[in-house]
Amino acid sequence: MDCSITALRPKERVCQDAEQIAAICREMGAPAAEQAIGRALGELTLILSGLAARVQAQDVADLGRQLRRLQRMSEHLGMVSLGHVACDARRCAETGDGTAFAAVWARLIRVAEQSLAGDRPPLDQRV
């Protein structure tokens, strides 16, 4: 009997829609768009942080509403994968499936980390 432990390291393929950012840049101009997107990313980070604190404290009241807000903001910023996983997490939370929620929550954190990583090109190179 083999008693070795295998560590799983899931990797997510994150999909982003650069056209969303390009549209914001065309509409507002690059300098104003950069400020607006920076504020939106900061707010997205705060929402994620607040969600993480609530999940850790097992405070699930209003979790669905906050996940829907995360979904909408993600989609507006072209973070397709993050929006999809936020939707999945919301569905799990609303159905009360704690096991599924725990798995999807772990995926949400992975996707959020990749989506918010600073390896994106500057706005003026995305238009």
DSSP output for 45-59:
HHHHHHHHHHHHTT-
Contact indicator for 17, 78 with CB cutoff of 8 Å: yes
Distance CA 117, CA 114 (A): 5
User: What pLDDT shows up at residue 2?
Assistant: 67
Contact indicator for 84, 115 with CB cutoff of 8 Å: no
Ramachandran sector of residue 19 (left: φ over 0; alpha: ψ -120 to 50; beta: rest): alpha
pTM for the full predicted model: 0.82
Contact indicator for 123, 29 with CB cutoff of 8 Å: no
User: What pLDDT shows up at residue 119?
Assistant: 52
User: What pLDDT shows up at residue 122?
Assistant: 44
- Tens-digit pLDDT profile for the chain (127 aa)? 667 877 767 777 888 999 999 999 999 998 999 999 999 999 999 999 999 999 999 888 889 999 999 999 999 999 999 999 999 999 999 999 999 999 999 999 999 999 988 554 444 443 3
Q: Which residues, including other chains, have CB under 8 Å from residue 60's CB and lie 6 or more apart?
A: 54, 93
